[in-house]
């Protein structure tokens, strides 16, 4: 009896590993042909090891990589478990994608799956008419009148708090993480305006909601480059 159970368990594990290998290979691509790319691309694996080595500093990694190409050049990056990524540079190219020909560049099913647990089917995870209707609703919320009448005084208040923090850091010659400060400024301003709640993350070292939201965003980015994220979930 134990031998039979062991064989069944071993068979199930083998089937799962086979499915996992097939899934990864089907979703793995090297850099897209016809576009410039980074050196040292490996068949199937692409730039997987370079990305994994720099995932903790991914924005800096992409900036450093972009400097290797002409200012307006688009370039591609591929890896294990995800389709090739194309990086667009230059104001003209970005405007063409986000405004002039926006209907031609929809969110992929892969991206929607990655983001759905945090953003649901909202404006950051929808296409077509659903996206247009949500964008239209958001355009009224973020109109000049709304921002001027209801949000400007909130932003000014939090900017003054940040100004005081920077002044104190300057006087004490204390290093400060500006990315963290701008994130907290955005969180404090938006949550007070949208939900009427004061987070005060600028003046407190640890705010559970801000920490949880920041962690969720980092995990979503890691999912993009982790072929095993569904198993880990």
Domain count, the chain: 2
Tokens of 221: 């980015």
**Domain presence at residue 130:** no
149 and 218 assigned to the same domain:
yes
Q: What is the DSSP letter of 107?
A: P
Tell me which H or E stretch contains 79: strand 75-79
Q: Given phi > 0 = left and psi -120 to 50 = alpha, else beta, which region is 179?
A: alpha
Residue-range definition of the domain harbouring residue 12: 1-85
- Give dist(CA 220, CA 114) in Å, integer: 7
Domain boundary among 85, 101, 117: 85
Q: What is the pLDDT at residue 195?
A: 83
Instruction: Tell me what pLDDT residue 161 has.
Output: 94
Residue 106 located in a structural domain: no
Task: Please indicate, yes or no, whether the overall pTM of this predicted structure exceeds 0.95.
Answer: no
pLDDT of residue 162: 94
Q: Is position 116 within any domain?
A: no
* Position 207 in a domain: yes
Q: List per-residue pLDDT tens for the chain, 233 residues long.
A: 557 665 666 666 666 555 555 555 545 455 556 677 777 777 767 777 888 888 888 888 888 888 888 877 888 887 776 777 888 888 888 888 888 887 788 777 777 777 777 877 777 777 777 777 877 777 777 777 777 777 888 889 999 999 999 999 999 999 988 988 999 999 999 888 888 888 899 998 888 888 888 888 888 878 877 777 777 77
How much is the pLDDT for 73? 81
Q: Which of 60, 85, 110 is the last residue of a domain?
A: 85
Domain for residue 117, yes or no?
no
Position 35 in a domain: yes
Does some domain include residue 158? Answer: yes
Q: Per the domain annotation, does 124 fall within a domain?
A: no
> Within this chain, do residues 79 and 155 fall inside the same structural domain, yes or no?
no
CA distance 195 to 3: 59
Q: Where does a domain end: 68, 85, 102?
A: 85
């Amino acid at each position: 009896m134990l031998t039979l159970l062991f064989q069944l368990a071993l068979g199930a594990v083998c089937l799962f590993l086979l499915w996992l290998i097939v899934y990864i290979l089907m979703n793995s691509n090297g850099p897209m042909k016809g576009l410039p790319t980074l050196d040292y691309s490996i068949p199937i694996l692409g730039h997987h090891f370079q990305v994994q080595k720099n995932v903790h500093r991914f924005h800096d990694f992409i900036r450093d990589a972009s400097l290797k190409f002409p200012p307006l050049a688009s370039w591609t990056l591929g890896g294990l478990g995800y389709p090739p990524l194309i990086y667009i540079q230059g104001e003209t190219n970005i405007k063409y994608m986000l405004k002039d020909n926006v209907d031609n560049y929809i969110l992929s099913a892969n991206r929607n799956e990655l983001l759905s647990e945090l953003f649901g089917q909202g404006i950051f995870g929808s296409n077509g008419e659903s996206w247009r209707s949500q964008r239209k609703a958001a355009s009224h919320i973020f109109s000049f009148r709304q921002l001027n009448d209801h949000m400007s005084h909130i932003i000014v208040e939090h900017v003054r708090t940040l100004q005081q923090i920077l002044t104190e850091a300057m006087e004490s010659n204390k290093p400060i993480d500006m990315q963290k400060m701008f994130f907290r400024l955005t969180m404090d301003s938006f949550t007070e305006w949208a939900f009427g709640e004061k987070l005060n993350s600028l003046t407190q070292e640890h705010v559970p909601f801000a920490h949880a939201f920041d962690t969720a965003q980092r995990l979503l980015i890691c999912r993009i480059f982790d072929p095993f994220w569904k198993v880990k979930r």
